[in-house]
Chain A
Amino acid sequence: MTAVPQSTGRELTSPPTDGISNLRFSNHSDNLLVSSWDKSVRLYDASANALRGEFMHGGAVLDCCFHDDSSGFTACADHTVRRLVFNHSREDILGRHDAPVRCIEYSYATGQVITGSWDKTLKCWDPRGSSGQERSLIGTYTQPERVYSLSLVGNRLVVATAGRHVNVYDLRNMNQPEQRRESSLKYQTRCVRCYPNGTGYALSSVEGRVAMEFFDLSEAGQSKKYAFKCHRKSEAGRDIVYPVNSIAFHPIYGTFATGGCDGYVNVWDGNNKKRLYQYPKYPTGIAALSFSRDGRLLAVASSYTYEEGDKPHEPDAIFVRSVNEVEVKPKPKMLPNPAT
Chain B
Amino acid sequence: MPPRKELCRNFQRGSCRYGDHCKFLHDTPPQSQSSPFGFGTQTGTQFQHTNPQQQKPNPFGFGVQHNAQVRGANDFGSRPNQFKPFENKWTRFSPLNTNSSSSLRQSDSQTSAPNHKCTDPESCKRQIIEDFENERPLWKLTCYGHNKNGPCDIVGDISYEELRALAYDEAKRGLSLQSIIERERSLLNSKLVEFQSLVQKPYAISSNASISTQNSVAGVSPNTPTTIQSGSPPSVSTFGQLGASLNTSRMFGAASSYTFGQSHSFQNYSQASSTFQGNNSPAISSHQNPFSTSTISSHMPTAAYNPAEVPMSGANSALDVTKSIQLMNNTHSGNSNMDNSIWMKAEWKIGEVN
Where the two chains meet, the residues of A that have a C-beta atom closer than 8 Å to any C-beta of B are 19, 21, 37, 60, 62, 77, 99-100, 102, 118, 145-146, 148, 162-164, 177-188, 190, 205-209, 211, 217-219, 222-223, 225-230, 232, 238-243, 261, 273-275, 305-312, 339-340
Binding site secondary structure of chain B? loop
- Beyond the given pairs A60-B165, A208-B135, A340-B3, 19 more chain A to chain B contacts, judged by CB atoms under 8 angstroms and listed by A's residue number, are A145-B157, A146-B157, A164-B143, A182-B107, A182-B149, A185-B148, A188-B143, A222-B69, A227-B66, A228-B37, A229-B38, A242-B138, A273-B39, A274-B36, A274-B39, A307-B139, A311-B250, A311-B254, A340-B6
- A-B contacts, 10 of them at CB < 8 A, read A99-B327, A164-B157, A179-B101, A181-B149, A187-B142, A217-B101, A228-B38, A241-B135, A275-B37, A310-B252
Known contacts: A207-B137, A223-B15. The answer to whether A182 contacts B145 by CB under 8 A is yes
Where the two chains meet, the residues of B that have a C-beta atom closer than 8 Å to any C-beta of A are 3, 6, 9, 15, 24, 36-41, 60-69, 98-101, 104, 107, 131, 133-139, 142-146, 148-152, 155, 157, 159-165, 167-168, 177, 180-181, 184, 250-254, 257, 327-328
Rounded to whole angstroms, the CA-CA distance of A190 and B160 in the bound complex is 10
By a CB distance below 8 angstroms, the chain A residues around B143 are 162-164, 187-188
Q: Is the CB of A209 within 8 A of B60?
A: yes
Q: Is the CB of B37 within 8 A of A241?
A: no
Known contacts: A102-B161, A164-B145, A222-B66. The answer to whether A310 contacts B180 by CB under 8 A is yes
Q: Is the CB of B148 within 8 A of A309?
A: no
By a CB distance below 8 angstroms, the chain B residues around A228 are 37-39, 60-62
Q: Is the CB of A243 within 8 A of B139?
A: yes
State the Cβ distance, B234 to closest chain A Cβ, in Å: 22
Candidates B60, B65, B136, B161; contact of A306 at CB < 8 Å: B161
State the Cβ distance, B339 to closest chain A Cβ, in Å: 19
Q: Is the CB of A225 within 8 A of B66?
A: yes
Candidates A21, A177, A184; contact of B148 at CB < 8 Å: A184
Q: Is the CB of A241 within 8 A of B145?
A: no
Q: Is the CB of B151 within 8 A of A182?
A: yes
Closest A residue by C-beta to B38: A229
Q: Is the CB of B69 within 8 A of A310?
A: no
Rounded to whole angstroms, the CA-CA distance of A178 and B98 in the bound complex is 13
Rounded to whole angstroms, the CA-CA distance of A209 and B135 in the bound complex is 10
Q: Is the CB of B144 within 8 A of A187?
A: yes
By a CB distance below 8 angstroms, the chain B residues around A226 are 61-64, 66
